[in-house]
Structure 1
Amino acid sequence: MYSTSMELVNYFNENFPIKQIRGGMYNEVDKYSRIPTLIFRFTEDVDPKIYDELKKCVESFEGNLQWTVFQGFYGKKVKNYMMSPKKIFEMKKQLFEQNKILSEKEYFSEEEYKYLCEKGIEDIPALTDHIKTRFQFES
């Protein structure tokens, strides 16, 4: 069975100067273990404005879910970026502001959590194509 978990990861690795990237947007064995998310960081010599350009591109995607790109809220020296359904950004922002820690499964109802997992996975191929055709990387 074809898996989309690595589709965007592979595209990023092949086309952008990646400093760090977490393998797999979701767990292929258990699609409900986490909501699909790409965690990454470009090399230090990349103009930080490129993240804003990528965010504009991702937010213009029209899929099952609204997607966004944001810098993680935690990290001592360097913070990674996340590409995820917008609901994940909203969750992480709210929990950070409230100084709370909850997992995605604890934060969302079971029904919403499963919906975000399923629809997020369905969106990955079209989101990848959208980025390929609309995002021009210029460092």
Structure 2
Amino acid sequence: MTAPTQHSGDSAQDLPGQKPGTQLPRPRRWAVLAAAAGAGIGSGLLGTSLHGHAWYPGAGDSVVPYGAALALLLLAAVSLFVGLWSRSSWVVVACGAAAYLTAGALSLQLGSFGMITNNVQGSVWLYGIAVVTPLVAWLVWALLRSKK
């Protein structure tokens, strides 16, 4: 029986189940930017289609915008994935910016048409993007920093 040998390429960034010393290559810059833009636009479109769902408990004027909360959860999950994949917290900001631009374009009231209206659900969705994006960027930064 031989003793295990230490490879010169061992690093703390090895993934579980990988051979020691092997690491996935860093994605290229154009691929990172394309992924951030695509993920942001996709999250903006899907979140806009989801944000309007609401629950009106009782006969009062109260509303629970669960669709907007789920849309923000979707954006957070996609941004977290893209940020960890690219190993950069700035990519999360680019993803959130693309989602915000998409939602902003869909909120334009052109004539009598606008997908995001001035109600609780629309406000939670639009302002929530601006809150969730820096929080997820900070989380990615903290996770990547702890791996070093």
TM-score, length basis structure 2: 0.28
Task: Choose between structure 1 and 2: higher strand proportion.
Answer: 1
Task: Choose between structure 1 and 2: higher helix proportion.
Answer: 2
